[in-house]
Each structure stands twice: as C-alpha cells, then as structure tokens.
C-alpha cells in the first residue's frame, strides 16, 4: 500500500501539485497538513503514523 503525505507552509499555498503527483504514483490514502513552518503541530502527520501502525 502506498500512502502520501504533503505539507504546505501556509494557507495561501496550494497542495495541488503534490496531490497530482500522488495520483500519478497511485497512492491509496493521502494526508495533507497546512501549517506554518514555525508550528510543529502536524495533525495529519500524526494521523498518518497512526494509520500505518
């Protein structure tokens, strides 16, 4: 199973290019965080790590 994780560092940035790559790669599940670089809290990363365990 292939899983994708993407993070953009601000709400103004767009994760569309990363999602397009996930589609090309055939990822089955994707997790995306939109967080500032100064904020270490990444809820989707934590959820992804729980998912793969």
The whole-number pLDDT of residue 40 equals 78
The whole-number pLDDT of residue 12 equals 72
Active site annotation includes 10: no
pLDDT tens, per residue, the chain with 53 residues: 899 999 988 767 888 999 999 999 999 999 999 877 677 789 999 999 999 98
Q: Given 2, 3, 9, 43, which residue is catalytic?
A: 9
The whole-number pLDDT of residue 52 equals 94
d(CA 33, CA 35): 6
Which long-range contacts link 46-51 to residues 24+ away (Cβ below 8 Å)? 48/3, 48/5, 51/3
Which whole-number Å values give the CA distances from 32 to 6, 13, in the listed order?
5, 12
- Domain architecture of the chain: domains with CATH: 3-52 (3.40.50.1390)
The whole-number pLDDT of residue 29 equals 97
Question: Is the pTM for the entire model greater than 0.75?
Answer: yes
């Amino acid at each position: 199973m292939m899983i994708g994780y993407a993070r953009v560092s601000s709400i103004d940035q767009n994760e569309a290019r990363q999602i397009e790559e996930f589609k090309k790669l055939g990822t089955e599940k994707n997790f995306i965080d939109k967080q500032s670089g100064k904020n270490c809290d990444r809820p989707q990363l934590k959820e992804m790590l729980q998912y793969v365990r």
